[in-house]
Amino acid sequence: MALVLDGVAFGLQLALLATGLTLIYGLAGVLNLAHGQLVVAAAMVGAVALGAGAPVLLALGLAVVTAGAAAVLLDVTLLRPVYRLRGQARVLLSLLLTLGVAFAADGLLVHSFPFTRLNLSVATPSVELLGVTVRSASVVASLVAIVALGGLVVLLRTTRVGRAIRSLTQDEEGAQLCGVDPGRTRRLVFVLGGSMAGLVAVTQGLVSSVGATSGLDLTIFALIVTVVGGLGRVSGAVVAGVLLGVVHAVAAFHIGTVLTFVILLVAAIVVILVRPSGILGGAGS
Amino acid sequence: MSGPLGLGPGGVVAPPASSLRAYLPIVVASVVLALVPLSLGGSRYFLSLGVHLLVVASYAVAFNLVFGSTSQLFLCQGALAGAAAYCSVILGNRYGLPLWLTIPAGVGLAALLGGGLSWVAVSRRLEVIYLGIVTLAFSLVFTNLLLGGRELTGGETGLVVDGGAGTWLRSPAAAYYLFLALLVGHLVVYRAIERSRLGWGFRALRDDEVAAALAGVDVARAKVTAGVVGAAMLGSVGATFAAHEGFVSPTTFAFGEVDVRVLVVLALGGVGTLLGPVVGAVVVTVVDELLRPLGQLRLTVYGVVLVVIFLGFRQGMVRSVRSLWMRAGTRAGPRTD
C-alpha cells in the first residue's frame, strides 16, 4: 500500500511533466526534446533565488515563470521556421532543433551550476494517510500536481481559449478557418507547457532535489509517459503518468531501478508498436 | 517530401555515371587520410585521435545510409555498434574464440538487430518520429541491460578484451590503417549501392514513398536492406574498435557518446553526400580538440552547431563547397543543388 501511494505521488509528477510535453506536441507538432532542460533551468533559477535570500514563494514563482518564458522564447525564435513545414517534416525538424537546444542548454547549465541543487526539504513531519505514514512533502507535491492538472483540464474543457487549443490540436487548418489565431494560441500553449515543466522543478524539489544534470533523464521520462499516453493526448498523459508511477515504485522496490527503467522503456516501445494512439486508445490523436 | 523529410536539398543527385568519376573521391580521400600519420610524425596521441576520427566517420557513413538514403531515423548507432562489440568480446573471453570468428558474429548480431528494427518500422508503418523514439528507447534499454547484467557484461566497469591482446591490433599506427581500410570499405559499399538498382530505389523513395512504390520500388525491402547493411557497418567498426582498445564499457557506446557526435558529424558534412561523413568527422575532431579546455561547454557548442545547421545550412559543408565551386566555375550560372 505504501508503495502504491509512493507510486501515485511519483506518477502525478510524471503526469505534470508529460502533459507539458504532450500539450505542445498536440498543438504545435513540436516534440520538444529540451523539455527536461526547462525543468532544470527553472530549478536553477529557483535555487539561486533561494540562495540569495528570496522568500520561498517568490523564488518558486520565478522558477515557474522562467520555464514558461523560456518555452515561449523557443516558440517565437528558433521554432519559427518549423511552422512553415507541415506534418512529418515539421515534426522531424523540430525534433532535431530542440535536440540541439537540449545539448546547448545542458552544457550551459552543467557548466554554470555544477553544484547547485534545488532542494526544498523543509522540515517534513510525516502524516498518516489511509493507514500508512507518508512524508508531508510528498503530499504537498501531489496536491500541487493535482491542482495544476485539474486547472489545466478545466481550462481546456470550459474556457474559450481551451476550446481554441483543442480545436487547433484536432485540425489546424479547420480551426484557422473558424477564426482561431494559431500563433497566439501556440504561444499560450508554450507558456502553459513550460510553466508545467517549471512546476515539476518545484514538486521534484519538494520530494527530493533537482540538479543541473537531470535534464536528459527528465526528457526521457516525459517521452515515455507521453508515448504511453498517446502523443498529444492530455488525458492519456495523466493516466499514463499515474500508472507508470505506480509500476515504477512497485518494480523498483522488487527488482531494482535499472531493470525498472528497462520495463518502462519496453512499455513505451510496445505501446508504439501495438497501439500508437496510446493506452486510452481511440482513433487519431 | 523532398530529401529526408525536408533535410538536404530537394533535388536528389544521382552519382556520376562513369566508374572513374564515381570512385575517384574515395581514392583521393583515402590517400589524403593515409598520408596524415606520416605528416604528424606518428605521435601516439595524434594516431589515437586519428583512429577516433576514422571510427566516427565510419559510423556516420552507416547513419548516412540508413537516415540519409532511406529516411529512417535510427537513434541507436551506439547501441548497434555496442551490441556487436559486446557480443564479440563476450564470445572471445568466455569461450576463447578467435577474433576472426567473434567479430563476424558480432556484426551478424548487429545486422540482425538493425534489420529487425527496420522491419518492425516498415511493417508497423511507423512515422519517423515513432521510429526515432523506438530506437532511442532501444539504445537506453541496451545501456541499462549492460549496467544490469553485471555477470555477463561487467556492468559499469566494463570488460577487458582478451582477443587481440599483444598483437599489432593494439598498435596505434597499424590500427589507424585498419580503420582507414574499414572506412574506405564503407564508402565503397555506400557508393556501390548508390549506383545500383537499389540506390535508384533509395532516391525514388526519398522523394516520395508512394510514388516510388507505384514505380515498382519494393520500399519495404529497400528500407530493411539499408537497415541491415548500415547496422553491419556499425557493428564491424564497434567490434573492431573494442578489439583495438582492449576494453569496453557502457560509456564507449552510450547515446551521448556516439549518436550525438554522429548526428553532428553528418549534419555538418551533409546528409546524403558521399564524403560528408569524412569532412564532418575531420571538422568535428579538430574542433573538439581545440575546444577541450571548454569542458562541459563543448556540448553547448555542439548544440548551437546543430541548431544553426538545421535552421540555415541544411545542405551541409560538402554541398555548400560544391555549389560555391560550381558558381565560381560558371560565373553567373544557376546553382545546381
Q: Which tens digits make up the pLDDT trace of A199-228?
A: 999 999 888 888 888 898 999 999 999 999
Instruction: Mention every residue, 6+ apart, whose C-beta is less than 8 A from residue B307.
Output: A78, A97, A100, A101, A104
d(CA B234, CA B139): 14
Q: How close B264 comes to chain A (CA, Å)?
A: 9
Q: Which three cell numbers stand for residue B25?
A: 573521391
Mean pLDDT (chain A, rounded): 88
Contacts of A227 in chain B (CB under 8 A): 133
d(CA A17, CA B79): 27
- Res B188 pLDDT > 50: yes
Residue B313: per-residue pLDDT: 65
Residue B142: per-residue pLDDT: 96
Contacts of B310 in chain A (CB under 8 A): 93, 96-97, 100
DSSP string, A163-202: HHHHHHHH-HHHHHHTT--HHHHHHHHHHHHHHHHHHHHH
Residue A244: per-residue pLDDT: 95
Contacts of A256 in chain B (CB under 8 A): 148
Residues B291/B285, Cβ–Cβ less than 8 Å: no
Closest among A149, A144, A147 to A206, alpha carbons compared? A144
Residue B6: per-residue pLDDT: 46
Q: What is the mean pLDDT of residues B26-34?
A: 92
Task: Give the pLDDT confidence of A117-142 residue by residue, as tens digits.
Answer: 888 766 566 777 667 777 788 888 89
Q: What is the mean pLDDT of residues A222-235?
A: 91
Which domains are seen in chain A, by residue range?
Answer: 2-274 (1.10.3470)
Q: What is the mean pLDDT of residues B282-290?
A: 91
> In terms of DSSP H, where are the helices of chain B?
19-39, 44-63, 70, 77-95, 99-123, 128-148, 150-153, 172-195, 197-207, 209-214, 219-245, 259-269, 276-290, 297-312, 316-329
Residue B10: per-residue pLDDT: 44
Cβ separation A103–B140 shorter than 8 A: no
Residue with cell 587520410: B33
Indicate the residue type of A245: G
Most confident of B21-30, B126-135, B178-187: B178-187
Residue B326: per-residue pLDDT: 72
Q: How close B148 comes to chain A (CA, Å)?
A: 6
Under the banding of pLDDT at 50, 70 and 90, the label for residue B38 is confident
Residue B314: per-residue pLDDT: 64
**Cβ-based interface (< 8 Å): residues of A facing B:** 31, 78, 81, 85, 88-89, 91-93, 95-97, 99-108, 110-111, 114, 216, 220, 223-224, 227, 231, 256, 258-259, 261-262, 265-266, 268-269, 272-273, 276
Residue B337: per-residue pLDDT: 43
Task: Give the pLDDT confidence of A66-115 residue by residue, as tens digits.
Answer: 999 999 999 999 888 888 887 788 888 899 899 999 999 999 999 999 88
d(CA B174, CA B50): 12
Residue A219: per-residue pLDDT: 94
Residue B36: per-residue pLDDT: 84
The angle at the Cα of B75, spanning A170 to A40, to the nearest 5 degrees, equals 70
Residue B17: per-residue pLDDT: 80
Instruction: Mention every residue, 6+ apart, whose C-beta is less than 8 A from residue A52.
Output: none
Mean pLDDT (chain B, rounded): 87
Instruction: Give the number of other Cβ atoms within 10 Å of residue B276's Cβ.
Output: 27
Residue B168: per-residue pLDDT: 84
Q: How close A112 comes to chain B (CA, Å)?
A: 9
Contacts of B140 in chain A (CB under 8 A): 220, 261, 265
Q: What is the mean pLDDT of residues B48-66?
A: 95
Cβ separation B130–A276 shorter than 8 A: yes
Contacts of B134 in chain A (CB under 8 A): 269, 272-273
Cβ separation A92–B73 shorter than 8 A: yes
Task: Give the pLDDT confidence of A142-181 residue by residue, as tens digits.
Answer: 999 999 999 998 998 888 888 888 887 777 777 777 777 8
Residue B12: per-residue pLDDT: 60
ipTM: 0.89
Which domains are seen in chain B, by residue range?
Answer: 4-329 (1.10.3470)
- Give yes or no for B11 touching A (CB within 8 A): no
